[in-house]
Structure 1
Amino acid sequence: MKILIATFWQMPHVGGVNRYLNLLSKELEERGHQVDLLAHYPDMQKIYLQRYRKKDEFSWTLSGQAVLKKKLMDRIFPEVYAYYQQNLPHVEPWIRWREIERYLFELIASLFDLHQYDLIHTHDLLATRALWRVKPAHVPLVYKVHGLVASVHVFNGEIKHKEELKWKYVAAEEYAAAMSCDALIVPSRWLMRDLTEEFKVPRERFRIIPYGLDIAPFLEQYGYEPYPPVNVSPNKLVIACPARLSAEKGQKTLIEAVARLKEQRSDFVCWLIGDGVQRSELENYCQVLGVADRVVFLGDRSDVPALLRKAEIMVLPSLEDNQPHAIMEAQIAGKAIVASDGGGIPEMIRHGETGLIFAKRNSEQLAAQLQLLLDNPELRSRLAANAREWGRKQWSSQVLCERTLEVYQATVAAKKEQTKDPLGEPELTGQYGLSKPPGIKRDEPASMFRFAAMNSFREREWRELANRLPQTYAIPDPFFVRTLAEG
């Protein structure tokens, strides 16, 4: 098959999704499939299509194309922003900007000859809804959910309560993406339950396929020395927490637990491996709690396996997590693990057998479990050995790819051309400033919009887009107009 893997977010980046996409692409290519990647460039100023093709046993060729966003942004932004300003002025700029970014992604994606693919596999909610709206009707779309974006906004403090329009909007994004696909994959039962109960996605849509890891290269890196070198005092036991520094990862709980431990002992140090928006806040929190001498911020590192080898304990205090790679890696490395009960983590660890589970946000319980492991090398060794045995069987990349290919093949076999939007096509003509029915007449640029537009496209630009877009495509997406108007 010729497969397009797509994400709205930048690639490459540090994180589990980046590793998953690289691993899946590698496994698919090794089985003879062709894989292209559609993503934002790291600076978010252009969207690119990248393809690797094996040239011989030792080399690969790299090719692709990229589209700068600015030209389309200059055309789309004033039209859509003015529409909201005039017809839905209560919609705050954060939501307007997110809508505009999705429309830009839709239009640019359409320029990459989507008809050439046998299947599209998306990996976030923005790319899923966007590609569903612009892809050819015969090309099936599979969506792999990696986490709940709506919950992240809550943890980050951007959404205070569920009566806010912001919450209703991001909840609608979760639902729209889960419905705008031919097959829906999740890594954990927890994620399936949350999407079913919180966001009302029908249970029968789901297929659970856990993540995988390329074990041999990981173990090779595990045998290296960290670089840059990290000093480890011979009389200090290392507690390692490899996770980006963001609210949902729960490092505040760990820092509070370290403060409790410090009152009892001085034979340990805690490494925070990773970086993120909360770094300054967490560094200040260490100063406030008096543990700046016990917590070391190592920042983003490319040698996490080597750092894990220096640690006695791996801890992950997430408030919510799906199926974190940090736990997978610690299990394969054979480490004693302490992790929260947030999200899908309890599906990965058998408490007392392959690790210890504590209640999220409960720093007292976390401190007690760390104290237990620090005091008891025999328990650390037993948990580590059990984790190693289980993890090396569970997280096979070959099994991940085989299960994913089963979904691909079944989806391609069952695919029928989509004739209507699964979210419905609300009749909004005459409401909320929408003066025209959906559909491109292909005669003038203004026909792309469902409202009175300013004809900001030039004729040649318009022809390039109109010839690639489905006849039913138009801006704005009526599902989100209805959500925002009625919210």
Structure 2
Amino acid sequence: MKILQLDMGREWRGGQRQVLYLMRHLQVTHGFETLLASPGNSPLGVRCGQLGLETVSLAGRFEVDPRNILKLRKLISSHGVDIVHTHCSRSASLGAMLKKACGVRLIHSRRVSYPVKGDLSKLKYRVANAVIAVSAEIGEVMASCGVPRENLHVIHSGIDPALYEQAAAAPKPVPTVIGVVGALSPQKGHAVFLKALGELAARRDDWSAMVVGNGELRPELEAATEALGLTGKVEFTGYRESSEALSRISILVVPSVDGEGSSGTIKEGWAAKVPVLCSDLVANLELVQIGRSGLTFANHDASGLARQLTVLMDDPELCERLSSGGLERLQGFTNTAMAEAVCKVYRTIG
């Protein structure tokens, strides 16, 4: 069975990492062949090429570019592609066009919980043979668009635990280092995180913090740090591989305020044996078992976050229990578990 993976992103984020994990698995799984179509020199395309995976460069990231439609129609015919699997909103639109033009079977992966706006946007999901939602919450969003429930499959994203073995073995920093890892974008909740640190600083001084990641909000967040009197307490590291950053973190905060799919950061914290403290978004609660594999605080509640940080800082035994519980919980959310579940969907519609 030949699977064309389609991703129009030019960034390297969690969704692209999932495509790479999936293609690596398909490369060594009997009965499957796979190739990637993505914009030229995209980070995903470069990484796939380095691993010897077959890639095709597209002219740009816009789904209506006629050069891409023509190129992919020829590719589907010449390579005998059985299934097109799309991995972002733009590629979903392009995939729907290709299904109509070529009669190929179509799967969409949906990774964000935002409502789908517009009848055409909803239609592109309805025409798919299957839709993979990375959380049950997203599955409900897809059902509200009219996707038949029999075509919906909930498959959480996964991580490669081997990447975090060194971080898991590293001693946790003392004094406490509180960390947040992810793109500096509005939905990730960095403003809540900084406000909580401001409240924490008024109570105690035995900690520092790391903000790991790049993004549009960095100047604004750095200004907020200064305004809160946290200069010298909070380090903005820029982009770091999470496996490296987590070896320097004692407590991992995931303060996302909306749009979360199936948080890779939570799973990475589990793999690195770092206790996780996250907002109580529906998608986060699908992952974290409160008191066993993490703690939570009410979404947007900086004071609640500050209180929970105090709880963890004052209870090393609780931190150890949460770290062990997270590692146990991770077993259902590995890259292999994700890829094997996707292969079952391929076989179902193939």
**3-state SS of paired residue (1:8):** coil
Shift of 1:50: 9.6
Q: Of 209, 220, 223, which aligns to 1:270? A: 209
Q: How far off is 1:130 after superposition?
A: 1.6
Q: Do 1:50 and 1:63's aligned partners in 2 also have CA atoms closer than 8 Å? A: no
1:29 to 23, 27, 30: 27
Q: Aligned residue for 1:178? A: 125
Q: Distance between the aligned counterparts of 1:43 and 1:143, measured in 2?
A: 20
Alignment partner of 1:196 out of 129, 136, 143 = 143
Gaps of 5+ in 2: none
Gaps of 5+ in 1: 53-58, 70-97, 152-169, 226-231, 413-487
**So what's the TM-score if we normalise by structure 1?**
0.65
1:236-267 alpha-carbon deviations (Å, 9 max, x no partner)? 31111111000000010000000000000111
How far 1:129 moved relative to its partner? 2.0
Identity, % of aligned positions: 24
Alpha-carbon distance in 2 for matches of 1:287, 1:277: 18
Q: 1:109 Cα shift?
A: 3.5
Residue 221 of structure 1: how far off its partner (Å): 6.4
User: Does the CA-based 8 Å contact 2:40-2:58 persist in structure 1?
Assistant: no
In the alignment, what sits opposite 1:108? 68
Equivalences, count: 343
The letter for the 1-side match of 2:336 is Q
Secondary structure of the corresponding residue to residue 63 of structure 2: helix
The Cα shift of 1:125 comes to 2.1
Contact kept, 8 Å, 1:250 with 1:318, in 2: the verdict is yes
Distance in 2 between residues matched to 1:50 and 1:291, nearest whole Å: 38
Contact 2:132 2:153 in 1 (8 A): yes
1:6 counterpart = 2:3:
no
- Counterpart code for 1:214: D
TM-score (norm 2): 0.89
In the alignment, does 2:152 pair up with 1:214? no
1:148 Cα offset (Å): 3.9
Shift of 1:343: 3.9
CA distance in 2, matches of 1:275, 1:312: 21
Q: Could you say what secondary structure the match of 2:276 adopts?
A: strand
Displacement, 1:25?
Answer: 0.5
Tell me how far apart the structure 2 counterparts of residues 42 and 49 of structure 1 sit (CA, whole Å): 6
Tell me how far apart the structure 2 counterparts of residues 66 and 192 of structure 1 sit (CA, whole Å). Answer: 31
What's the secondary structure of 1:111's corresponding residue? helix
> Computing the radius of gyration over CA atoms, which structure comes out larger, 1 or 2?
1
Paired residues for 1:281-430 under 5 Å? 281-302=220-241, 304-320=242-258, 321-391=260-330, 393-412=331-350
**Matched residue, 2:196:** 257
Match of 1:126 among 90, 105, 119: 90
Which AA in structure 2 matches 1:208?
V
**In the superposition, relative to structure 1, how do residues 328 and 60 fare at CA in structure 2: closer, same or farther (>3 Å)?**
closer
In 1, Cα distance between the equivalents of 2:47 and 2:298?
42
Does the Cα contact within 8 Å between 1:125 and 1:177 map onto a contact in 2?
A: no
Q: Deviations over 1:167-199 (max 9, x none)?
A: xxx4445413321311011121111123334x4
Give a deviation string over 1:80-117, Cα, whole Å, max 9, x none. Answer: xxxxxxxxxxxxxxxxxx9xx3311x641331322221
Task: Classify the secondary structure of the residue corresponding to 2:307.
Answer: helix
Change (3 A) 1:49 1:110: farther
SS of the equivalent of 2:306 reads helix
Return the letter of the residue paired with 1:284: A
Secondary structure, aligned partner of 1:38:
strand
CA positional deviation for 1:351: 1.0
Query: Aligned equivalents of 1:206 and 1:123: distance in 2?
Result: 15
